[in-house]
């Protein structure tokens, strides 16, 4: 039996209409790609800054965290009595605590002698602090007064500390106007509020910042037994501890910091607005392209309508043009976004990454943008009356 393939062959009308004028197609792709890149960058910066604000928070070895209710964020920490950790130890499921001092001190670049604020954490070297299994060995070096661990991922403005230390040089400089020596390196990463990080002992911290009361801390880390119900312990400690301290789970502690930057600053609004502007710009560009295409071929559309084609079928042609434009515009936008994210990471060391959720979100926004523009341009087809055109 002979099959007539030509009978079932569909003419790619949408593709032919788009490629009929290559220059116009390139302009449309460039416009959509630009809108996609703008959305990628704005959303990437926003999410990257939120993630960067909790770089250190995610590394703490803790199930629960104590913090003063007067603390607003990592850049505005208030102290609370250290004895609250002693009270927390009375709970049967608490197996360990770590008092942590948290403040910004002036670090002097050992090469240029310029000063810059750096986040400094003070803790008891014999107590766990970070999830890194190799950190405990490094922490032992802090038992000598005046020793610090320097974050290798700190910005270059703090000096070639990691480079010098790896070469075996003795790295000494000033911190808060007092002499300190780098005893080791850690990898934490800068945050939106801190360009660099240091870790030292509480003994050294109190010497560097003598105005800090010995019995005051900014963070209290609590570790629970493996069989403990975290939410039950959280509820119990909230009921038993005074109101001069707040109790968070580790996830709540991280979300607390993110929420500050999201709601108490203009960061979230600015970058979301930037993404919205990219969406609007892309919509206008796609609309102009599709409207011009429909207008240029109005006679042909009218002829098809006169031949019996339904308006819905012609609408489908314009919709397919929008989908094709979305796909062709998204690919270069995605590639450019990856390249720009790498550039940002290299320049600022902020964790700006292309995660699948954002990639899908931008693709959805581009498709939606093109379909909205196509829907508006379709209205031009309603005027495609053969009696008026011919």
Tell me, what DSSP letter sits at residue 10? Answer: P
What are the extents of the domains in the chain?
11-52+266-389, 69-244
What's the rounded Cα separation, in Å, for the pair 180 and 200?
Answer: 10
Number of Cβ atoms within 10 Å of the Cβ of 78: 14
Q: Give the model confidence (pLDDT) of 244-289 as tens digits.
A: 999 999 999 999 988 888 777 777 777 778 788 888 887 887 778 7
Q: Give the model confidence (pLDDT) of 356-382 as tens digits.
A: 888 998 899 888 888 888 777 777 666
Q: What b/e string do you get for 172-189 counting C-beta neighbours within 10 Å, with b at 16 or more? A: ebbbbeeebebbbbbebb
What's the rounded Cα separation, in Å, for the pair 101 and 119?
Answer: 10
What's the rounded Cα separation, in Å, for the pair 179 and 170?
Answer: 13
Distances (CA, A) of 69 to 78, 245, 254, 376, 378: 8, 6, 15, 52, 57
Q: Which residue in 79, 41, 75 sits closest to 57, CA to CA?
A: 75
The per-residue pLDDT for 141 is 93
Backbone angles phi, psi at 61, to 5 degrees: -90, 90
Q: Which residues of the chain have pLDDT under 50?
A: 1-8, 389
Q: What b/e string do you get for 242-263 counting C-beta neighbours within 10 Å, with b at 16 or more? A: eeebbbbbbeebbebbbebbbe
What's the rounded Cα separation, in Å, for the pair 301 and 64?
Answer: 67
What's the rounded Cα separation, in Å, for the pair 109 and 80?
Answer: 32
């Amino acid at each position: 039996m002979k099959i007539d393939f030509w009978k079932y062959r569909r003419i790619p009308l949408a593709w032919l209409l788009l490629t009929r004028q290559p220059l116009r197609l390139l302009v449309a792709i460039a416009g959509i790609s630009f809108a996609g890149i703008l959305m990628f960058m704005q959303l990437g910066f926003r999410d990257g800054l939120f993630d960067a604000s909790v770089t250190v928070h995610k590394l703490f070895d803790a199930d629960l965290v104590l913090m003063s209710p007067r603390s607003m964020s990592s850049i505005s920490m208030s102290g609370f009595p250290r004895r609250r950790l002693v009270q927390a130890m009375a709970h049967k499921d608490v197996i360990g605590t770590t008092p942590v001092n948290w403040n910004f001190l002036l670090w002097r670049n050992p090469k240029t002698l310029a000063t810059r604020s750096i986040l400094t954490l003070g803790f008891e070297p014999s107590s766990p602090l970070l999830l890194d299994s190799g950190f405990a060995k490094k922490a032992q070096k802090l038992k000598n007064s005046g020793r610090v661990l320097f974050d290798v991922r700190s910005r270059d403005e703090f000096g070639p500390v990691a480079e010098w230390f790896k070469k075996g040089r003795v790295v000494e400089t000033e911190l808060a106007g007092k002499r300190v020596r780098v005893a080791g390196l850690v990898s934490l990463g800068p945050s939106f509020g801190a360009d660099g990080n240091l870790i030292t002992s509480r003994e050294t911290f109190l010497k560097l910042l003598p105005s800090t009361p010995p019995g005051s801390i900014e963070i209290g880390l609590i570790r629970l037994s493996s069989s403990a119900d975290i939410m039950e312990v959280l509820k119990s400690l909230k009921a038993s501890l005074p109101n001069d301290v707040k109790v968070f789970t580790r996830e709540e502690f991280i979300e607390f910091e993110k929420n500050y930057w999201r709601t108490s600053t203009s960061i979230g609004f600015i970058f979301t607005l930037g993404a919205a502007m990219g969406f609007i710009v892309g919509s206008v560009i796609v609309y102009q392209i599709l409207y011009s295409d429909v207008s240029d071929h109005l006679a042909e559309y009218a002829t098809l309508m006169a031949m019996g084609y339904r308006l819905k079928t012609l609408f489908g042609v314009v919709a397919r043009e929008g989908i094709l434009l979305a796909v062709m515009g998204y690919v270069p936008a995605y590639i450019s976004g990856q390249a720009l994210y790498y550039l940002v990471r290299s320049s600022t060391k902020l964790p700006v990454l292309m995660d699948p959720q954002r990639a899908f979100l931008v693709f959805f926004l581009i498709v939606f943008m093109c379909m909205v523009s196509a829907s508006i341009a379709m209205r031009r087809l309603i005027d495609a009356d053969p009696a008026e055109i011919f």
